[in-house]
Amino acid sequence: MSTTLLDPTSELQPATRQLNDRLSSLVGATVGLLDISKPRGKEFLDEVEKQLTALGATVKRYSKPTFTRVAPTELSQRISVECDAVIEGLAD
Amino acid sequence: MNSSSESQFALVLKKDCATCRLIEPVARELAEQLRDSLRIYVQDDPSFPESIAGKVDDTQLEFSFHNDIEVVPTLIRFCAGKESERIFGWDRKQWQDFMQMPGLGNELPDFRPGCGSKSRDPGMEDMLAVKFGGARQAARQLEIDDSEDVMEACYERGWTDGLPVTPPTPVRVARMLAASDRTADEIIGNIPPDYAPCSIEKAAINAVMAGCKPEYFPVVLAALEGALQEPFCWHGLLCTTYFSSPVVIVSGPVSKRIGMNSGINALGQGNRANATIGRSLQLIIQNIGGGRPGGIDRATLGNPGKYSFCFAEDESDEQWPSLAMDRGYTRADSVVSLFAGSGIQPVMDQQSRNPESLARSLAASLRTVSHAKVFMQTDALLVLSPEHRRVFRQGGWNKAEVKAAIYEALRTPGEELVRGAGGIAEGLPEQFKDRTLDKFRADGLHIASAGGTAGLFSAIIAGWVASGEKGSQLVSQAMV
């Protein structure tokens, strides 16, 4: 079952949520790396961090308590405040 | 039976109706006699009447809706696929004549009234109109799965002003639209800042979300048309870093009809019409116009009226013209006026017992609108309470005299207002030094009445610093 709602907007935007604009440059940007706490995530993200740093980005590392649940609100909020972009390590 | 044998019949029943249960033997006899020429539709329990086979399940009420069934039982005769005649309730003689069956229901009482059709239950018609009536709703439909909280879904899509909204379901929107004579696809105007076209339907969706009852909708539409008048400058008002936003003042008979508040706490919370009409306008410019705080809405501080700021005028004093009457309308006109306002500044004067003193007192407070040294730039709306109004009335003053006295009390030599005067850098350019200046431009001070009957207080609603032709002017829109 579902509820039907009528779109109150001008419909100039798609109904689905939009992605943020892509960063034009990584130089000086703060990029968050979110480890979802799957095995070997750390090794993989270490390598990603190395490459991002080489491209001029500042990297901040975060991790979720468990990959089985969505990130705690507090963590999402922290990332949104501290970072310009975030890369989430998804699954294996 | 003669001519009846060429006809088709439909009998609509509801188990919950005592008359329908009473005529079960009649229905059975008709079913036996007419066979395929009769269809029996049941609105509530398709197993009823148990003694008759081959009933049609109309629990969805599609047949009842399309055939405009008002009462059960209803018996309809169709000729060549078209209804030729119908009867309802139970009147033995009428049924016998209708069917040309003299013995029909002889064992039953002469007369029993029917019951209301389920398709006419309160609220049901609108739901059926959406379901079966092809109520043409053009807006994009979003399916929110039951696993998702509908209220949260509205938040997540950015549709709210920070407070919860009523989810805009097709039925609610259909009810809102039904309260206006205007067609759903009519474009009322382009909403700034995106200048996106706004249909009556889109306005209705946002009015639903704001919490409006359908009967408020014509007022919402008038407010919207007022806001779209060029002199109101809704675009600039939305984009400004200043505090201002639309203040909606409703005058005339409509305010009483829909139960608006013009009395105690008129500028405050608690009245559904006041709260939701003003809010509709804000949701429309946000959702349709794309005017979002932090986006195109660049207000430094904003004001609480940006959630909603709408009130009705107190017109209890027949001798005191309403704001709408100042704009050329009559007491009998229902008019929505819009002012670019920046919150409320209270005026307390509990000592003035004559008009001269009170006018000077109000003027002293009005001097600080936007800044005590800034003149001719910012309009103001003065909301006189009944007790302050009484002081003027008992002193024999009319509204024009009040206004003139306030202008007079505020007239100030430019040398006191120029930049640097009084040790304050803010002020008027040096060129005004040798002039005597009015605080407000000629049409820049408006007076409305509202408030409870106790309290020698009035309210100043300061305008936008960009008042007048270069910015926003008070506009009025009559309801048609």
Reported as a single tens digit per residue, the pLDDT across B418-458 is: 999 999 999 999 999 999 999 999 999 999 999 999 999 99
- At residue B7, the pLDDT reads 82
Query: Residue A91 has what pLDDT?
Result: 58
In a domain? residue B332: no
Judged by CB atoms closer than 8 Å, whether chains meet at A10 and B169 is answered as no
In this prediction, residues A23-33 reach a mean pLDDT of 94
Q: Please give the Cα distance from B133 to B155 (Å, whole number).
A: 31
Identify the domain boundary among B80, B106, B132: B132
The single-letter code of the amino acid at A45 is L
Chain B partners within 8 Å of A10 (Cβ)? 191, 194, 196-198, 202, 287-290
Residues B109 and B75 in one domain: yes
Q: How far apart are CA B257 and CA B173, in angstroms?
A: 22
Question: Strand ranges (DSSP E) for A1-92?
Answer: 2-6, 30-35, 58-63, 85-88
Query: Tokens 């202008």 identify what position?
Result: B407
Contact in structure between B170 and A4 (CB atoms under 8 Å): yes
Q: Is residue B347 part of a domain?
A: yes
Indicate whether B441 belongs to any domain: yes
Contact B192, B285 (CB under 8 A): yes
**Does B142 reside within a domain?**
no
- Reported as a pLDDT band with limits 50, 70 and 90, residue B402 is very high
* Contact (Cβ atoms closer than 8 angstroms) between residue B167 and residue B151: yes
Instruction: Using an 8 Å CB-CB cutoff, list chain A residues near B145.
Output: 2
Of B145, B170, B283, the CB nearest to A6: B170
Structure confidence by residue, pLDDT tens digits, B300-328: 999 999 999 999 999 999 999 999 999 99
B13/B107 same-domain check: yes
- Contact status, residue B443 vs residue B413, Cβ threshold 8 Å: no
Contact call for A6 and B146, based on CB within 8 A: no
Q: Is there a single domain that holds both residue B386 and residue B306?
A: no
Instruction: Establish if A6 touches chain B: CB-CB under 8 angstroms.
Output: yes
Nearest CA in chain B to A2: B145
Taking 60 as the threshold, does the pLDDT of residue B5 lie above it? no
**Are B162 and B305 in the same domain?**
yes
Q: Is residue B330 part of a domain?
A: no
What percent of chain A is predicted at pLDDT more than 70? Answer: 90
Residues B168 and B72 reside in one and the same domain:
no
User: Which pLDDT value is given to residue B2?
Assistant: 41
From residue A35, alpha-carbon distances to A32, A42, B50, B387 in Å are: 10, 7, 65, 67
Give residue B149's identity as a one-letter amino acid code: D
Query: Best of A2, A4, A6 to disrupt the B interface by mutation (most B CBs within 10 Å)?
Result: A6
pLDDT in tens, B20-45: 999 999 999 999 999 999 999 999 99
Cβ separation A6–B159 shorter than 8 A: no
Task: From chain B, pick out residues whose CB is under 8 angstroms from the CB of A76.
Answer: none
B182 and B282 fall within a common domain: yes
Q: Checking DSSP bridges between strand B111-112 and strand B90-91, what pairing results, if any?
A: antiparallel
> Tens digit of pLDDT for each residue in B113-159?
999 999 999 889 888 988 887 666 889 999 999 999 999 999 999 99
Residues of A in contact with B198 (CB under 8 A): 10
Q: What is the ipTM of this complex?
A: 0.79
Q: At B325, give phi and psi (nearest 5°).
A: -65, -35
Which residue, among B139, B140, B168, has the nearest Cα to A3 in the 3D structure? B168
Maximal C-alpha separation, chain B: 106
Do B271 and B411 fall into the same domain?
no
Does B304 share its domain with B348? no
Q: Does A15 touch chain B (CB under 8 A)?
A: yes
Residue B273's domain comprises 150-313
* Total domains present in chain B: 3
Q: How far is A18 from chain B (nearest CA, A)?
A: 10
Q: How far apart are CA B197 and CA B346, in angstroms?
A: 38
Residue with the two structure tokens 């006018």: B359
Are residue B255 and residue B196 in the same domain, yes or no? Answer: yes
Q: Do B194 and A10 touch (CB under 8 A)?
A: yes
How wide is the angle at C-alpha B376 spanned by C-alphas B373 and B378, nearest 5°? Answer: 85
Phi, psi of B402 (to 5 degrees): -60, -50
Residue B319 lies in a domain: no
CB pairs under 8 A between A and B: 74
Contact A6 B283 (CB under 8 A): no
Measured between beta carbons, the chain B residues lying within 8 angstroms of A6 are 137, 139-142, 168-170, 173, 201, 205
- DSSP code, position B51: T
Residues B180 and B304 in one domain: yes
Judgement on whether residues B352 and B270 belong to the same structural domain of the protein:
no
Single pTM value for the model: 0.82
Residue of chain B nearest A15, judged by CA positions? B142
Q: How many other C-beta atoms are found inside a 10 Å radius of the C-beta of residue B249?
A: 30
Count, residues in chain A: 92
Tokens describing residue B73: 């039982």
B201, B212 contact by CB (below 8 A): no
Q: Specify whether B39 is located in the same domain as B121.
A: yes
pLDDT in the model for residue B135: 66
A6 and B140 within 8 Å at the Cβ level: the answer is yes
Which of B423, B370, B364, B362 has its CA nearest to residue B387? B362
| Nearest residue to B47 (alpha-carbon basis) of B24, B71, B74 | B24
